Structure 1
Amino acid sequence: MSAQMNVPFLISRAGAVSALTLAALGGSLLVPGGTSEAQAATAHAGKALQIAASKKGAPYKYGATGPSRFDCSGLTLYSYKKAGKKLPRTAQQQYNSTRKVSASSRQVGDLVFFHSGKRVYHVGIYAGKGKIWHSPKTGSWVKLDKIWSKSVWYGRVR
């Protein structure tokens, strides 16, 4: 069996797999024993994205890391931890720990870092089509938003 199955087969076989999961994995299902390192990274990223999306509506709270309230880096930390990957606590530390990727190479599940000069001040999880899941600020909540700035860097969790 190949490492990837086509989407119609996946839907008929898995039934309960959500559209978000399929989108996050690029329409592929990873089969145990048939994954490359890149596919394994994609699986963790897709799972982290799905976890972040499942927290839609959770209120922002400065310093919170879940499971019911989050700040920006708390959401990425929580999502990747649940997906089996460890990240440091702050947005800047998370940026420092990721493998940098260009905007043209970004993939669903990569981290999106907003910066002013060399200082990272916000992070979210790339959801595709120029959007991120994030926990933006006091008085807000976890939500899907368009990337609103050109001052962003992308990082892939190792």
Structure 2
Amino acid sequence: MEISIFTVGSVTTAEKEELESGTMREYFRGMFRPMALLADDLEEFGHVNTHILSHEYGYVRGDDLLSEIEDHRGDVESMQESLVQASQSSDVIIIALMKDEYELVVKPVWEDVVDNIKSSQIVGLSAPETVQEWLISEGLKEANCELVVYNKVGPALVSKEFKQKTHELVESL
């Protein structure tokens, strides 16, 4: 099973010295931590690709090594390409971003993503109501996929209920 998570990094991080050979998923802490724990939880069901947009590093993947990323600065277009590709190939797609990142990364490619969604996929969306207005489109509803939505308020990227429901759906695949 292929699981793709798209999220944001955190300004709270581990000390670089203690993670010399660590991954980006281990590096980010703070508000990113629940996403890392969700990824850890879902790994028992398949391969988890974590895609992270960071103010410090730009677009990185969770399994990128911190020691190799220092001079790297992935761009928004690369993250958009990964999102479109994931919509074609992943069994599970989880997107948990802030409003500005949804507007910057997701909105320009959302029609392409929705066109690729199949009824056999699970789509998890953590978004403020203002983003849900365009995110949960007729096309997404017509895709008839399993949809899990968290009405994001405040800094929390996901809720306990969102994580539990996602886990249950993935377990049932």
Q: TM-score, normalised by structure 2?
A: 0.27
Structure with the larger helix share = 2
Q: TM-score, normalised by structure 1?
A: 0.29
